[in-house]
Amino acid sequence: MTAAHHAPTIDDVVAAHAKLREVHPLVQAITNTVSTNFMANVLLAAGASPAMVDNPEEAGLFATIAHGVVLNLGTPTAAQVQSMRLAAEAAQKAGRPWVLDPIAAGGLPWRGGIAAELLAFRPAIIRGNASEVIGLAGLGGGARGVDSSADPADAVGAAVDLLAHATAVSASGAIDHVVGHVGKDKVLIRVGGGSALMPRVTATGCALGALSAAYAGIAPDPLTGLIAAHVHFAVAGEIAERTAKRPGSFAVAFLDALDAVDEASLRELAKIQAPVAL
């Protein structure tokens, strides 16, 4: 059978979701100042447990305790970067999956160097919008910071290049493009759904990175965890949009929807396109 036949399916997503709700995985988040509160609330609503442990004195030790770790380069400080290095190294040594969210890594030299350094610790997952994925792969080759207007399809080549450093990579957008290893092969899986209001609420992308860390901590492999996180997010976005038509009310409805997602809604609303072998 081809790699595409072994790629994650809706049954795998449902199983990962049930495991998430059973385990309530502990997620260490070293993230930007804009996203901290919303990210924590997203993790709680989805069924995980957030821990915003970002000081150098505790970051490394805590990474060995958490089910998963997310490192977000949105507003890095010298102390936070030190914590990221310690957490990434500790997570790698302890076999804990960690997620790199490389905000503006391709557009700003200092954080680009930090991102390149962190890649040496082999993240399980790299998650960003298309511009960020392209920027990280090229580290300066045309990235536009946190701009989310680029088409995720244009980032597939860059995402595949980043598989040299990670097990799975996603470029999120109207249709999320996820690439990953299946055995010795590579596949592309597109995930549709969600809501056009999601980019109008700050920190939704950052929170998706944290949820990816939560799922990676309980899923059988990083690609399954990443697909499950994207599907959970997209389904919640569709549910939230049924009652909320503006960004402010959507942010509240989205948290409620993350909690409301269950097997029935996953099977009804998930839009996982057929995998493509790369």
What DSSP designation does 272 have? Answer: B
Residue 93 phi/psi, 5-degree rounding, is: -65, -35
Percent pLDDT > 90 in the chain is: 89
**Which residues are CB-contacts of 219 (< 8 A; sequence separation ≥ 6)?**
12, 16, 19, 225, 228
User: How far does Cα 58 stand from its chain's mean position?
Assistant: 23
| Per-residue pLDDT reduced to its tens digit, 51-66 | 999 999 999 999 999 9
Residue 169 contacts residue 249 (beta carbons within 8 Å)? no
Helix (H) or strand (E) holding 88: helix 78-94
Instruction: Please state the rounded mean pLDDT for residues 75-84.
Output: 97
pLDDT tens per residue, range 200-257: 999 999 999 999 999 999 999 999 999 999 999 999 999 999 999 999 999 999 999 9
The CA distance from 130 to 112, in Å, is 16
**Rounded-to-integer distance, Cα 126 and Cα 166, Å:** 7
Measured in Å, how far apart are the chain's first and last C-alpha atoms?
15
- pLDDT at site 20: 98
If we measure between CA atoms, which residue out of 232, 264, 197, 262 comes closest to residue 42? Answer: 232
**Tokens 């505790």 found at:** 58
Q: In this structure, are residues 76 and 111 in contact, taking their beta carbons and an 8 Å threshold? A: yes
Residue corresponding to tokens 């942010």:
251
> Quick check: 106 pLDDT over 60?
yes
Domain range list for the chain: 3-277
Residue that is written with structure tokens 């997310």 in the block: 70
pLDDT band at 132 (very low <50, low <70, confident <90, very high): very high
H/E stretch holding 174 = none
CA pair distance 118, 133, nearest whole angstrom:
15
Can you give the pTM of this predicted structure? 0.95
| Residue range 3-277 in CATH 1.10.1740.10 | no
| pLDDT at site 139 | 67
pLDDT class for 107, splitting at 50, 70, 90?
confident
